[in-house]
Amino acid sequence: MNDESCIVQTSLGTLQGIRRNDVIQFRGVPYAKAPEGEYRFSLARPVSAWIGTRDASIHGCIAPQPPSPLRQAIGESSEPPQGEDCLSLTISTPAVDQEKRPVVVWLHGGHYMTGAGSLDWYDGAELSKDGNIVTVGVNYRLGAFGFLHYPGISNGLMGISDILAALTWVQDHIAHFGGDPDQVTVMGQSAGAHAIMCLLAMGEARGLFQRAVLQSVPASLAPLSEAKALEYGNRLLDILNVDQSDPKEITAQLITLPTAQIIQASGKLAKEIERFGQITLPFMPVIDSLSTTDHFIEMAAKGAGEAGIELIAGTNREEANILLGNLKALDPALVRERFVALTGKEETIELYRRRRPGSTIIEQVSDLVTDYTFLFPALRLAEAVHEAGSRTWLYQFDWAPYGSPFKACHGIELPFVFGNFEAYKDVPILKGAIPEVVADLTTAVRRAWLGFIQTGNPGVSIPWPVYEPAQRQTMRYASVIGTAGDLAEINRAGVR
């Protein structure tokens, strides 16, 4: 592969990127100062200008993190170096000129604990080339470094402040890379999509983007209340053996502890709060006023309506298949308890059994968690956005390789959006896929996503009507692609 250097002059300094396969890429571009030392738990601070030409041909560090809990299904990405100096962007553009292309800013998922926008899985080169757009991948702080809430030390919104700083950087500088700051779509999956809901509900994000794509958003998981976050923070300090009698001493210890020690303690905390059939995150945005599901959805929708932000939102048919851990034998009492807690009645177990012929109890629990964590809340969000005066295009990704034990699980749509199948070649969830099917499905998904990013219309190739409560049209990506009317009601009735 021939790499050709390319230089861009910004108001912060000069960057030297590389040209690869007709796309120019700038890697490790700093958008905020390094949150190190005494600034470990500070909100994002504006980046300083630099002297000379900065090498932007190699990726920067990713945020300190443990191995992904989903690696048995999604495999391992290339292992980049970790470090607290991680607030950087990966920018891909077809050309450095004055064309003013649409921009998409990517927020990765990973339980707010793992991942990075600079991973090969999310390389934006193919999207930029195919859609004549500028793609921006964001690395932001994770785990306790991004979301610890402890009075006098951190407010639990460091990771969100990073994302706001990245979006502000895009507004100020993306024109130098051939992008239009007035045509920004923010796109995220899982925790990244959840962060977008937080942004929609927050006034600070107003004007930083015009459209949003929410893939597999766990909309049922409201941000943490300050009380719950403090409970988790206190427990983390206990695990770390931090002396909590002197506030100054707490700060001194927390900013000097090795990152590996904090990550290890965070893993122990995550294990302690784990509950059967639930997704419980020890670290996520802490927003006291949004700490109930109903209000979280309502305020995100209200923010979209007031700002005129239109959405693509959707879920995968078996999201929870890789999110519940390696469940083997299940306690029937726990299963009944979870069904009653979520549906209000024990007999719903039978409905879930009937709608998936030959299903195991584990598959039924997976369907339950998929519906109540992802699907139904996403439908409520779409309806709330409609009521708030904006529009949502809803989808469900149903495709999986024939016989795959993972089925259409969490994350399976990602390679179809980015088109980076070389980075996904050994991923277990795609094992057995027929190449021709994958190619055509990729074309369909990416044309829709790019149509939305470019023009606000995802139905440019295959008709995709906007979601309305009366018809409830949902695009289904499966062995046959097309919209299904009232898919919401079909799912609610317990029939796929």
Distance CA 387, CA 494 (A): 26
Supply the pLDDT for residue 75: 60
Supply the pLDDT for residue 2: 47
Domain boundaries, the chain: 4-226+280-492
> Is 11 a known active-site residue?
no
Q: Pairing relation of β-strands 392-397 and 474-477?
A: parallel
The SS3 call for residue 489 is: helix
165 CA to centre of own chain: 17
Supply the pLDDT for residue 343: 93
Distance CA 135, CA 105 (A): 6
pLDDT by residue, tens only, the chain of 496 residues? 445 569 999 999 999 999 987 899 999 999 999 999 999 999 999 999 999 999 999 999 999 999 877 655 566 556 689 999 999 999 999 999 999 999 999 999 999 999 999 999 999 999 999 999 999 999 999 999 999 999 999 999 999 999 999 999 999 999 999 999 999 999 999 999 999 999 999 989 999 999 999 999 999 999 999 999 999 999 999 999 998 888 888 999 999 999 999 999 999 999 999 988 889 999 999 999 999 999 999 999 999 999 999 999 999 999 998 877 666 667 888 889 999 999 999 889 999 999 999 988 888 999 999 999 999 999 999 999 999 999 999 999 999 999 999 999 999 999 999 999 888 888 899 999 999 999 999 999 999 999 999 999 999 989 999 999 988 899 999 999 999 875 555 455 443 3
Query: Phi, psi (5° rounding) for residue 327?
Result: -70, 130
List, in order, residues 6 or more apart from 404 with CB less than 8 Å away.
Answer: 429, 431, 432
Q: Which of 195, 173, 197, 198 is nearest to 184 (CA)?
A: 173
List, in order, residues 6 or more apart from 474 with CB less than 8 Å away.
Answer: 314, 394, 395, 396, 467, 483, 484, 487, 488
Q: Take residue 263 and report the two structure tokens written for it.
A: 């990550």
Measured between its terminal Cα atoms, the distance across the chain in Å is 46
Q: Which one is catalytic: 59, 108, 386, 410? A: 410
> Is 190 a known active-site residue?
yes
Supply the pLDDT for residue 360: 87
pLDDT in tens, 265-318: 999 999 999 988 889 999 999 999 999 999 999 999 999 999 999 999 999 999
Q: Which one is catalytic: 190, 216, 220, 266? A: 190
Q: Which of 185, 136, 188, 134 is nearest to 160 (CA)?
A: 188
Q: Could you tell me how many helices (H) and strands (E) the chain has, helices first?
A: 16, 15
Question: What's the pTM value of the predicted model, to 2 decimals?
Answer: 0.95
Supply the pLDDT for residue 302: 98
Q: Which of 321, 484, 496, 316 is nearest to 396 (CA)?
A: 316
Q: Could you tell me which CATH number the domain at 4-226+280-492 has? A: 3.40.50.1820
**What dihedral do alpha carbons 348, 349, 351, 352 form, nearest 10°?**
120
Q: Which one is catalytic: 319, 383, 386, 404? A: 319
The SS3 call for residue 217 is: coil
Supply the pLDDT for residue 491: 55
Contact 458, 464 (CB under 8 A): yes
Distance CA 117, CA 166 (A): 12
**What dihedral do alpha carbons 34, 64, 270, 214 form, nearest 10°?**
80
Compute the radius of gyration of the chain from its Cα atoms: 22
pLDDT in tens, 49-102: 999 999 999 999 999 999 877 655 566 556 689 999 999 999 999 999 999 999
